[in-house]
């Protein structure tokens, strides 16, 4: 692999697909997004993901021929981030709660066959943690990344290395239980962080609350953004759901600070577009509840990468695993 070759990065989210070309210094040369439309099923979604990859390559001036590639390989490798559980060795997706019907989908093989390039698949939140560590501009050795998106998950970098663990999923941070008698989670357990903190849960809890009370949300098809907007405008029902969400996330962050003593907890994902409305109460609750030495050593911030965080994570994985192989 030459150091000049960029990588192609693909990101499979529960709501959006993204693709981009990323250079070794973390510059995003092209960035394309489209709806996941998960109801169409894996075959249709994977086809659109591959087409999006071709579009991102073309927009970066590096069009991908169908294999065999005639004029040499334009990319060092392809990195793919996807919701877990999945097998990073085989690139097979193993029925993630956020991607119904994706049981044993050989995503890595499908990408590699289409483009004829080495392809590395990783849990999207684990990948994003490495992307934040490498290119987030933070200059720290210990970092926890949490994505508050359609789902909720995260990854850990400890002493400068991505934590993968025995099952190589990098930890299932979304399914850490923060209320053992709490709401049922998509994984079947009760009271997981994801059952409160994900965009899906924020919208669902607000819909339930607005059906039972007088609210400016009543009768709407509610999104997490609506809950943030209506809470800011003073609606008490939206406010209660938002406050519960930030309290739960704050508690979750405190748990993670106690477990891994990071220099930094970075929050990313679509719900973090609400900015200080999310960050400030979460930061205050987390640093108040964590053990004092760990809390004093840590701060809680928002990712600077916005919507590109998933693509940067997938790219970081491609560089790291290509070098290991």
Given the rule CB under 5 A, which residues bind Zn ion?
Answer: 175, 185, 187, 189, 192
Shortest distance (Å) from residue 177 CB to Zn ion:
8
Shortest distance (Å) from residue 194 CB to Zn ion:
5
The residue (of 195 and 209) whose beta carbon lies closer to Zn ion is 195
Torsion-angle region of 72 (φ positive above 0: left; ψ -120 to 50: alpha; else: beta): left
CB 31 within 8 A of CB 17: no
Shortest distance (Å) from residue 102 CB to Zn ion:
17
CB 250 within 8 A of CB 193: no
Shortest distance (Å) from residue 175 CB to Zn ion:
4
The residue (of 74 and 186) whose beta carbon lies closer to Zn ion is 186
Is the torsion defined by CA of 198, 31, 275, 153 positive or negative? positive
Lookup: tokens for 130: 């490495």
Q: What's the count of helices (H) and strands (E) in the chain, helices before strands?
A: 10, 13
CB 9 within 8 A of CB 314: yes
The residue (of 130 and 224) whose beta carbon lies closer to Zn ion is 224
The residue (of 30 and 147) whose beta carbon lies closer to Zn ion is 147
Shortest distance (Å) from residue 195 CB to Zn ion:
6
The residue (of 196 and 319) whose beta carbon lies closer to Zn ion is 196
The residue (of 114 and 175) whose beta carbon lies closer to Zn ion is 175
Shortest distance (Å) from residue 188 CB to Zn ion:
7
Lookup: tokens for 17: 């697909």
CA-based nearest residue to 85, from 76, 94, 77, 98: 94
The residue (of 187 and 220) whose beta carbon lies closer to Zn ion is 187
Shortest distance (Å) from residue 186 CB to Zn ion:
6
- Report the C-alpha gap between 134 and 313 in whole angstroms: 9
CA-based nearest residue to 112, from 154, 153, 36, 53: 53
CA-based nearest residue to 318, from 81, 116, 64, 138: 81
The residue (of 117 and 253) whose beta carbon lies closer to Zn ion is 253
Shortest distance (Å) from residue 183 CB to Zn ion:
10
Q: What torsion, rounded to 10 degrees, do the Cα atoms 235, 304, 198, 156 define?
A: -140
- Report the C-alpha gap between 75 and 119 in whole angstroms: 11
Contacts of 293 (CB under 8 A, 6+ apart): none
């Amino acid at each position: 692999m030459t150091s000049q070759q960029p990588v192609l990065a693909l990101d499979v989210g529960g709501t959006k697909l993204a693709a981009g070309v990323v250079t070794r210094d973390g510059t995003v040369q092209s960035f394309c997004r489209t709806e996941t439309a998960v109801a169409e099923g894996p075959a249709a979604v994977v086809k659109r993901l591959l087409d999006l990859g071709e579009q991102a390559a073309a927009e970066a001036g590096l069009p991908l021929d169908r294999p065999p590639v005639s004029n040499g390989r334009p990319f060092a490798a392809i990195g793919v981030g996807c919701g877990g559980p999945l097998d990073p060795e085989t690139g097979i997706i193993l029925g993630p709660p956020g991607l119904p019907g994706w049981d044993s989908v050989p995503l890595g093989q499908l990408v590699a066959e289409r483009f004829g390039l080495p392809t590395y698949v990783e849990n999207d939140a684990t990948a994003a943690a490495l992307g934040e560590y490498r290119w987030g501009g933070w200059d720290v050795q210990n970092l926890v990344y949490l994505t508050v998106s359609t789902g909720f998950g995260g990854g850990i970098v400890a002493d400068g290395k991505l934590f993968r663990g025995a099952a190589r999923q990098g930890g299932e941070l979304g399914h850490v239980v923060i209320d053992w008698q709490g709401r049922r989670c998509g994984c079947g357990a009760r009271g997981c962080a994801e059952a409160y903190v994900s965009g899906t849960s924020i919208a669902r809890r607000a819909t339930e609350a607005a059906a039972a009370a007088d609210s400016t949300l009543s009768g709407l098809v509610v999104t997490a953004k609506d809950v943030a907007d209506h809470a800011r405008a003073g609606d008490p029902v939206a406010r209660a759901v938002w406050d519960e969400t930030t309290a739960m996330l704050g508690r979750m962050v405190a748990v993670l600070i106690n477990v891994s003593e990071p220099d930094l907890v970075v929050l990313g994902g679509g719900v973090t577009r609400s900015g200080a409305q999310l960050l400030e109460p979460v930061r205050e609750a987390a640093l108040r509840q964590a053990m004092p030495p760990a809390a004093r050593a840590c701060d809680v911030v928002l990712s600077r990468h916005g919507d590109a965080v998933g693509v940067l994570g997938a790219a970081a994985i491609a560089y790291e695993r290509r070098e290991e192989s």
